[in-house]
Amino acid sequence: MQTRTLLSVFSVVTAGILLTFQSGCGQRRDAEILDDRDKEIKELVARVKVTMRSGSISYDDNVLEALVGHGQRSLPYLRSLIEGESDLSRRMYLFHYVVRVEDVKTLRIFMDYLMGDQNTGKGDMRQVIDWLTHFTGKDFEFDKLEMADTRFAALNDELWRLKDRALVSELDEDDSRRMKQLEAQLLKITSEVTHQIALKYRSWLERELEEGRNPIRSKEEREAEREAERKAIEVGPAMNREAFALFRKGAAYFRLGDLDNALDCYKKSLVIDPESEYLYCVSIGGVYEKKRQWEEAINWYERALAAEPEDAGACWDIGNVYTKKGEWDKGIRYFKMACDRAPKDQRYRYFLGWALARKGEYRQAMEQCEKLKVLDDPETSEYLESLQDAIRKLEGRQ
């Protein structure tokens, strides 16, 4: 009995020693893995610091990608690098990689730095806003806010008129000086708009964080959006450079009101680059429409539609010309085709309703109002109110 008891005690002690030994080995392996990871991170950080000291314009993306690949463990090192970086644009670039680790607290640091550094340039702030839009999916519509400034719209129009003239002829000294003045004024307005949006972002981020929500979109969502953007850029053939240069010149002539020269440039572009037929045909159709040569305009728009059968814009262009000719049935048919191809585009829905009202089909026009109501777009209310107002006025004339 005593022997069995001693054996049992011995077994328990031995098992305990084995478990302790195995646990110790496991901990040592884990420690070795962590040590290896830390060692790799430190080596990567050292390489970044070499770039920092060299004064190079930018960092090696491969090194930063490898660093970010270590996830949360890399954050203290990344933040340390940011604190040691004196160059503003490169510091912003490092911030971009910190946010990619999906660390919510970093967003707060990001915005504090953005708003607190008086030396942050307009370009840097705009870039940061673009990053925030990408990482959070929250879009405060920079371009719309910028264009809503009446000063910006007027100055921008004047600048583009001068740029158009510069494309087709040489500017004199007064015009060149005026271009520089306009660019400086627009830069100032853009900086003001950028600051407004930065304030909006900081306020929104503070609210999201206080309410316990993570405002950073998942990596999968971000990559899906980027892939969609990449595919959108790749759609259609690459444009011939010579043809595109002529096209730009034609567009400048068109905006300046020189329609004959615009037409000449567009048609030459089409001969050089028939693969981009849709773009040039639409542009040629636009010139003929401006000239009020309706049949020619329709023929060229039809050719554009044949090149891109699913394009809603060409359908709208044809319908618009038919309404200018007073051929309401044909105009309505093409507006319906545009709506079928782009059912969520409120512009096409508005013009369909307007054409129906002009024809006296008020009930069908009001149906378009109902369809506008269900579209999820911030501009829908403007189109809806405009269409309802047009229907009331047209009914009142009866």
Decide if pLDDT at 398 tops 70: no
pLDDT at residue 12, as a whole number: 45
Average the pLDDT over 62-76 and give the result.
Answer: 77
Tell me 236's DSSP state. Answer: S
Q: How many angstroms separate the CA atoms of 263 and 103, rounded?
A: 54
More reliable by pLDDT, 369 or 329: 329
Cβ contact 335:319 at 8 Å:
yes
Split at pLDDT 50, 70, 90, the class of 32 is very low
- How much is the pLDDT for 56? 65
Q: What are the backbone dihedrals phi and psi of residue 360, each rounded to the nearest 5 degrees, phi first?
A: 95, 5
Residue with the larger pLDDT of the pair 378 and 327: 327
- pLDDT for residue 103: 54
- Return the CATH architecture of domain 242-397: Alpha Horseshoe (1.25)
Between 394 and 310, the higher pLDDT residue = 310
> 145-204: per-residue pLDDT in tens?
666 677 888 888 888 888 888 888 888 888 889 989 998 888 888 777 777 877 787 788
Contact assessment for residue 391 and residue 365, using Cβ atoms and an 8 Å cutoff: yes
Q: What is the pTM of this model?
A: 0.60
pLDDT digits (tens, 9 = 90+) for 278-301: 999 999 999 999 999 999 999 999
Residue 121 has pLDDT above 50, yes or no: no
Rounded Cα distance, 82 and 72, in Å:
16
**Above pLDDT 90, what percent of the chain?**
25
| Banded model confidence at residue 348, pLDDT cuts 50, 70, 90 | very high
Cα–Cα nearest to 364, from 394, 396, 322: 394
Q: Considering the chain, what percentage of its residues have pLDDT values greater than 70?
A: 70
What are the pLDDT digits (tens) for 1-26?
Answer: 444 554 454 454 455 545 554 555 44
Q: Are 269 and 244 in contact (CB under 8 A)?
A: yes
Q: What is the pLDDT of residue 160?
A: 86
